[in-house]
Amino acid sequence: MECKVVKLDLCPGGGFETRMREDGGEFRPHVEGCFLEILPEARLVFTTVLTEGWRPAEPWLALTAIITFEAEGGGTRYSARVLHRNAADSKKHEDMGFQEGWGTAIDQLAAFVGRSS
């Protein structure tokens, strides 16, 4: 599975869009959403129930994510909390490999930061 970001407007009300592909195939729409809060180096909140400009959406998977970054020792504590509309959506996301995917993303971020420092 490969993901590509095709839109990223990092401001409250700004939108984002990702596309996914499998086995080298064509990139297909994955998710669109809206940033709710952005506090540089501290907090990022986004949702899929709104798109750019606070427009209501009916996503295939409704969620709100709260990402926080806190200084800790000589590093940074990264926390991700995802809120789902109901237990069924949470289960659907889990069955799709949610935790594995987010774990891979943070491992990639850590590797990138390690190369940059």
Summarize pLDDT for 60-80 with one digit per residue, the tens.
889 999 999 999 998 889 898
pTM across the whole model:
0.81
- Segment 44-63 shows an average pLDDT of 94
Q: Residue 43's closest CA among 35, 51, 54?
A: 35
Chain CA centroid to CA 41, Å: 16
DSSP lists the bridge partners of residue 65 as 46, 82
CATH superfamily assigned to domain 2-85:
START domain (3.30.530.20)
Assign 90 to helix, strand or coil: helix
How far is residue 35's CA from residue 33's CA, in Å, rounded to a whole number?
7
